[in-house]
Amino acid sequence: MRQYDWWTAATRIFWAVLALGLGMVVVSAVEEKKEADAPEVAIRIAPLSDGTSLLKEADVLMEISRSFGYNLDGVPIGKVDIERVERILEDAPFILDAEVYVDARNKIHIEVVQRHPILRIIDRDGKEYYLDKEGLKVPLSKHYSARVLVASGNIAPFTPEYKSKKHILNDLFALAELIRGDAFLNAQTEQIYVDGSKELSIIPKVGNHRILLGKYVDMADKLKRLKIFYKEGMPYEGWNKYTSIDLRYKEQVVCKKR
């Protein structure tokens, strides 16, 4: 019995010493990794749906350098605040989401998802910007001009609270979403115009005419009538026969000839 107790105690001591040793090795390895410098920062920017990008790797590095005061390559891993880097990047105007991690070789990886512009605004003061899929303001890019619908005319200046107010941007955003959701209309539409009475009209890509929509009321029905007219009436009459196609009146398509 005493011999068994001695063997059991010795076994427990052995495993305890082994666990302690392994723990020290792990702690030492972790500390060594923290003190090791990051040899490189690898940046991947997910392209927009058309394969292009509003920003470049240098823009991402500049955002980090501007906030931290230094570049991340060559900095000890232990001093890299991953969560802060992600927050800084997600506050940047072109970035929707950012994920940052360090691999086994101490290489810092930054993966960026861009904001996706759907509408380019030219307001009544001549200021230009995009609205993205979330309806947020995105500045124009110095690298690339997004191929999206354009809205111009009597558009009041942007305010961050526009969604909770009666602002023409709400109508423009909703109309852009309806047009984008229909492949045929999206291919036909060049620009949305807001007149002095804040009525909406469309300038098409093909044909020298204007499509009058009026106020943002029953807009899905108006676009449905437009689509039917384009497919059934326009091929016979020709794209340049009319100066305007008026959809403001319920259940009607009123065309004005040249």
Q: In what order do the strands lie in the sheet with 137-138?
A: 137-138, 128-132, 117-122, 149-153, 189-194, 200-204, 210-214, 242-246, 254-257
Q: Are residues 194 and 71 in the same domain?
A: no
Q: 71 lies in which domain range?
A: 41-114
- Which of 116, 161, 148 is closest to 134 using CA atoms? 116
Q: Are residues 252 and 153 in the same domain?
A: yes
Return the CATH number at 240: 3.40.50.11690
102 in a domain, yes or no? yes
Residues 6+ apart with CB under 8 A from 47: 53, 114
7 in a domain, yes or no? no
Q: What 3-state DSSP class applies to 137?
A: strand
What are the start-end ranges of the H helices in 158-238? 168-180, 183-188, 219-232, 234-237
Tokens representing residue 208 in the block: 């020298």
Per-residue pLDDT at 28: 39
- What is the crossing angle of helices 219-232 and 168-180, to 10°? 40
Q: Are residues 203 and 124 in the same domain?
A: yes
Look up tokens 């040793």; give the residue: 21
Structurally, how many domains does the chain consist of? 2
In tens, the pLDDT along 11-30 reads 666 666 656 655 554 443 44
| DSSP one-letter code for 127 | -
Q: Are residues 127 and 110 in the same domain?
A: no
CA 79-84-85 angle, to 5 degrees, is 85
31 in a domain, yes or no? no
Residues 6+ apart with CB under 8 A from 228: none
Q: Are residues 94 and 175 in the same domain?
A: no
pTM of the model: 0.80
Look at the chain and count its residues. 258
Return the CATH number at 104: 3.10.20
Q: Are residues 98 and 161 in the same domain?
A: no
Q: Are residues 153 and 63 in the same domain?
A: no
Query: Model confidence at 81, in pLDDT bands (50, 70, 90)?
Result: confident
The residue from 60, 91, 114 where one domain ends is 114
The residue from 89, 114, 139 where one domain ends is 114
In tens, the pLDDT along 34-67 reads 456 666 889 999 999 888 899 999 999 999 888 8
Range of lowest pLDDT (29-33, 156-160, 250-254): 29-33
Q: Are residues 58 and 170 in the same domain?
A: no
107 in a domain, yes or no? yes
Range of lowest pLDDT (63-67, 72-76, 150-154): 72-76
Q: Are residues 65 and 128 in the same domain?
A: no
Pairing of strands 254-257, 189-194: unpaired
Q: Are residues 169 and 237 in the same domain?
A: yes
Look up tokens 């997004």; give the residue: 146
Per-residue pLDDT at 241: 80
